[in-house]
Amino acid sequence: MLNKPGIEGIEIRAKAIAKAGGIEQFIATHDVQNFQVCLSEALVLGLLRQGVTKYLAIFGHGSTHLGEILRIYTEAGVTKVYNFRNEVEMAHAGTALSWVYQEVCAVVTSIGPGALQAMAGSLAAASNGVGIYHIYGDETTYGEGYNMQQIPKQEQHLYGQLTAVMGKSYVLHTPEGIRNALRLGVQTVFNPVKAGPFYLLMPINTQPQVINHFNLQAMPLKPCASKQIVGDQELIDESVKAICKSKKVVIKAGGGSRPFFNELRKFAKLAGAAVVLSPGSTGVLANDDPLNMHVGGSKGSISGNYAMQNADLLIVIGSRAVCQSDCSGVGYPQVSKVININGDFADLNHYNNTIGLYGDIGSILEQLIAAFPKSDDYLSAKQVWLSDCAQKKNEWKSFLSRTQGVKTITDEVWGSPVLTQPAAIKAVCDFAKQHHAIKFFDAGDVQANGFQTVEDDLPGETYTETGASYMGFATCAVISNGMADKPKYGIAFTGDGSFMMNPQALISAVQHHAKGMIVIFDNRRMAAISSLQHAQYGKDFRTNDSVAVDYVQLAASVSGVKAFAVEGSLESLQDALKSAYSYDGLSVLHVPVYAGTDERGGLGAYGSWNVGNWCESVQDIYLSSNI
């Protein structure tokens, strides 16, 4: 009966898996080595072995067959399918589900524009090392003529070529290739060092084709690999010797350091090092840790950039040296030697004069910790450095306090005093911390002021999509709360421009029972670019608009959304936050904020960046750099 062909056979298998209590229990109690299954069902079965049970879908003519298989398995209780309205929105929600909750899911779209939009959205997963499956419909394999929505060009596998540029990709031209496809997929999606999206292209005509001898037991499981330490003890000893000898050590903790924050904290103390964070690594050191210099880079902090600019030894941990994070390669002008700890070989060797410690970051940090001398006499030579860094940290904290203390500034667009972004973002961050809510930051001015503001004590309190800086990510990320097995309350910090990239997320959030909050900081412009234009050229150009939008009315028009208007005071914002949090569903706050040339309206920039008319000077410095 289990090998029965057609819809009836699919239903029998789905119910049997549900009755067994899961795919592995089913395999353990049934003969699964010679099934007759179509490609679509083989895919669903194969992904079950990897623990993928959740599908985010926008079905179209390129995915109707896969949709029918998912209907049967979902009605049996084996899978779950969440329908969406926009492929970019869906890709962001899936990325958040995998990133925040460690629930790897699959995004399903049709052929054509839907696939292109989903692939565009997958840039956020690719840039932040988040594993997720993307399954797209594709043109038929017989070449009988143009398929509607295919790329209109006489060439084979064009969508496969596109997705292969973004990441790892496989075109299921031959149904029996499913085993190899999922083997490559599991290596990408569950890569312990640098995961990413894996793209499965499903031609319309191969989805229903039958595989006559399908062996479910041969479908690959999630990888289980030993942690890699440094086999050459001489490199460990050389690194510790360099650290002990140096008087000014700085650690740049990238996003890859987040899982190893306990080891990093012990190591930083032993090394006597100032620690500079990336936007994506806030929380690896507690906010008040005296070694925490906060963010550094093109939009860094007084203390973070001071440590970068004055250190003589750089220790890079889990960073890929994004341009804004290391000031386009000129962030460490006094450094002549680098110790790089990374599991990715290319990122390991980004800088010149590097001792490369290649492998599992946590294990390598433990090796380094064990290699330090028993006596801590070497730390006395670093006290002046740490004292100077502490002074700069106090300067930064004082600056934050002063700037955040300016509650309102009169704004020419709003025609009245409105809250400043530093004050408003600080208030929402404090509220999130008080209620143990996850903070999601969208791209732009809100994001930059956000990672300069947050006071995280642990990783995972903030998710800021700085890898691709994708406008609209935060709004869509809140939806993941409604799909997660163990949801956490989420607050999206978004600008008016970012919010309008994916306002349909309001509908999806209600549809999937998400409980969270979206705070729209509305300055009626692209303030991050306006300020950059002013800094570079003295004037802004075409980065604002004259069209007023009633975001409260817009949000409230969606049944199930509770919308609040914040007036121009901190008390109004705090009252709205309390009311919004008490609502059992999705709430939206509209907060008018200041935008303009008044320096009190933002938290400033402290580094270099290879962009616009700064390029020549930055590149000149880069060419003369020791590293």
Query: What CATH number does the domain containing 242 carry?
Result: 3.40.50.1220
Residue 1 has pLDDT above 80, yes or no: no
Q: Are residues 201 and 241 in the same domain?
A: no
What is the H or E stretch that residue 288 is in? none
CA distance readout (Å), 215 to 32, 93, 175, 218, 571: 6, 33, 13, 5, 63
Please check whether residue 622 lies inside any domain of the structure: no
- Looking at 174, 191, 218, the residue that finishes a domain is 218
pLDDT tens-digit readout, 422-465: 999 999 999 999 999 999 999 988 999 999 999 999 999 999 99
Better-scored residue on pLDDT, 196 or 469: 196
Report the predicted TM-score, pTM, of the whole model to 2 decimal places. Answer: 0.96
Q: Are residues 376 and 511 in the same domain?
A: no
State the CB neighbour count (10 A cutoff) for residue 294: 27
Residues, the chain: 627
CA atoms of 56 and 215, how far apart (whole Å) = 27
State both tokens at 581: 């949090």
CA atoms of 564 and 553, how far apart (whole Å) = 9
CA atoms of 581 and 576, how far apart (whole Å) = 8
365, 270 contact by CB (below 8 A):
no
Domain that holds residue 578: 406-596
Lowest mean pLDDT among 79-88, 366-375, 616-625: 616-625
The torsion region of residue 467 among left (phi > 0), alpha (psi -120 to 50) and beta comes to alpha
Please check whether residue 114 lies inside any domain of the structure: yes
pLDDT tens-digit readout, 318-342: 999 988 889 999 999 999 999 999 9
Q: Are residues 333 and 412 in the same domain?
A: no
- Looking at 190, 218, 246, the residue that finishes a domain is 218
Q: Are residues 577 and 540 in the same domain?
A: yes
The overall average pLDDT reported for the chain is 95
Q: What is the pLDDT of residue 518?
A: 98
Which amino acid, one-letter code, is at 509?
A: A
Q: How confident is the model at residue 533 (pLDDT cuts 50, 70, 90)?
A: confident
What lies within 8 Å, CB to CB, of 179 at 6+ separation is 46, 218, 219, 220
Query: Looking at residue 253, what DSSP letter applies?
Result: E
Please check whether residue 506 lies inside any domain of the structure: yes
- Looking at 165, 195, 218, the residue that finishes a domain is 218
CA atoms of 356 and 462, how far apart (whole Å) = 29
Q: Are residues 371 and 492 in the same domain?
A: no
Residue-wise burial string across 38-58, b where 16 or more C-beta atoms lie within 10 A, e elsewhere: bbbbbbbbbbbbbebbbbbbb
What lies within 8 Å, CB to CB, of 77 at 6+ separation is 18
Q: What are phi and psi of 94, to 5 degrees?
A: -65, -40
Our measurement of the distance from residue 410's CA atom to the centroid of its chain's CA atoms, rounded to an integer in Å, reads: 35
Lowest mean pLDDT among 121-135, 254-268, 285-299, 610-624: 610-624
What is the H or E stretch that residue 294 is in? strand 292-295
CA atoms of 527 and 602, how far apart (whole Å) = 10
Q: Are residues 306 and 275 in the same domain?
A: yes
State both tokens at 63: 């995915």
Please check whether residue 138 lies inside any domain of the structure: yes
Q: Are residues 363 and 421 in the same domain?
A: no
pLDDT tens-digit readout, 376-421: 999 999 999 999 999 999 999 999 999 999 999 999 889 999 999 9
Which amino acid, one-letter code, is at 598?
A: D
Here the CATH number for the domain that contains residue 149 is 3.40.50.970
Q: Are residues 293 and 418 in the same domain?
A: no
Lowest mean pLDDT among 35-49, 110-124, 136-150, 254-268: 136-150
Q: How confident is the model at residue 212 (pLDDT cuts 50, 70, 90)?
A: very high
Instruction: Please state the domain count of the chain.
Output: 3
Q: Are residues 466 and 532 in the same domain?
A: yes
Query: Looking at residue 222, what DSSP letter applies?
Result: P
Please check whether residue 618 lies inside any domain of the structure: no
Q: Are residues 310 and 378 in the same domain?
A: yes
Judge residue 458's burial from the number of C-beta atoms within 10 Å of its C-beta, 0-12 exposed, 13-18 middle, 19 or more buried. middle
State both tokens at 594: 């200041």
Residue with tokens 């930059």: 448
Please check whether residue 627 lies inside any domain of the structure: no
Q: Are residues 470 and 542 in the same domain?
A: yes
140, 65 contact by CB (below 8 A):
no
State both tokens at 332: 């460490």
Please check whether residue 607 lies inside any domain of the structure: no
Please check whether residue 305 lies inside any domain of the structure: yes
Residue 4 has pLDDT above 80, yes or no: no
The residues pairing with 133 across neighbouring beta strands, listed in sequence order, are 106, 198
Q: Are residues 429 and 531 in the same domain?
A: yes
pLDDT tens-digit readout, 176-199: 999 999 999 999 999 999 999 999
Q: What is the pLDDT of residue 534?
A: 82
pLDDT tens-digit readout, 15-42: 999 999 999 999 999 999 989 999 999 9
State both tokens at 227: 């942690």
